Amino acid sequence: MNKLIEISKASVYYDDVCALKNINLEVKEKEFLAVLGPNGGGKSTLLKLILGFKEPKHGEIKVLQSVPKKTRSFIGYVPQFSKFDKSFPISVEDVILMGKLHKGFMPFYKFSQKDKENAYEIMKKLHIYHLKSRQIGQLSGGQLQRVLIARALTLEPKILLLDEPTASLDAQTKTEIYKLLKELNKEITIILVTHDIGVVSAYVTSIACINKELYYHGKAEMSNDVITKVYGCPVDLIAHGVPHRVLATHVGGLND
């Protein structure tokens, strides 16, 4: 299976502050990777590294066998809710079509009929076609998340990045979003930053556990020791409202 992302001994800094240290990570085609870790642990920085918005001070990264800045148009990105202005007077259809403007806002740009038909197909696939004329501020959290995913898909990306896509959503809506992503994963590679440790393990194919360093990358099961190292204390996982442990015994050290 092809390696779409290859990160080798990469360290990323904000001025003199180290955000990621000596990261080794490979992401394969059709992988569904969940990136877990505490706030401030470097999860969003990892996405910026893949997108080419941050460069490693040490080490290297290749995306689709090239430097990230040259492959950005092949990556769909879904930001956190907090970074999206829901009060802006724009329709669902227009928000999704703006995904085509990957080089930035272009006044008076006219979308082609092909652009619109492609957007309609994506809306139907994500079950939001009936909302196409609605103002985005009138959407529920789950509906808005589907719109943001649809916008990212208009680029026909090979890789889809999502930063906390289920934050502030109720349990049922979270499950719906994860099921949707699982379906999309049949066609594209997905990297998901999340805090939903227990729930997400039922849908992803692999997990990367990061707190500045990479403590684990492998199947969607981790040892209690890894979780304790990353979060600083043992964690009881919550999956569908039931506290339980889904972590397997893991033998080995960092980056294994």
161, 146, 147, 145: which is closest to 35 by C-alpha? 161
**Domain presence at residue 255:** no
Contact between 49 and 69 (Cβ < 8 Å): no
The percent of residues above 70 in pLDDT, for the chain, comes to 83
> Helix, strand, or coil here: 102?
coil
Residue 160 lies in a domain: yes
- Let me know if residue 254 belongs to a domain: no
In the chain, the number of structural domains is 1
Q: Would you say residue 38 lies in a domain?
A: yes
Helix (H) or strand (E) holding 238: strand 237-239
Token representation of residue 225: 């020791």
**Residue 255 banded pLDDT, cuts 50, 70, 90:** very low
60 inside domain: yes
Distance of CA 233 to the CA centre of its chain: 25
Using CA atoms, how far apart are residues 238 and 228, in angstroms rounded to an integer?
Answer: 16
Assign 91 to helix, strand or coil.
strand
Which CATH number fits the domain that encloses residue 223? 3.40.50.300
**Average pLDDT score over residue span 12-36:** 95
Query: 116 lies in a domain?
Result: yes
pLDDT at residue 83, rounded to an integer? 65
Boundaries of domain holding 169: 3-244
137 belongs to a structural domain: yes
pLDDT on residue 52: 95
Q: How confident is the model at residue 103 (pLDDT cuts 50, 70, 90)?
A: low
DSSP string computed for 201-230: TTT-SEEEEEESEEEEEESS---HHHHHHH
Tell me, yes or no, whether 249 lies in a domain. Answer: no
For the cut 90, the answer to whether the pLDDT of residue 157 exceeds it is: yes
Report the pLDDT value the prediction gives residue 248, as an integer from 0 to 100: 45
pLDDT at residue 256 tops 90 = no
pLDDT at 87: 82
Quick one: pLDDT at residue 240? 35
pLDDT of 222 reads 65
pTM of the model: 0.85
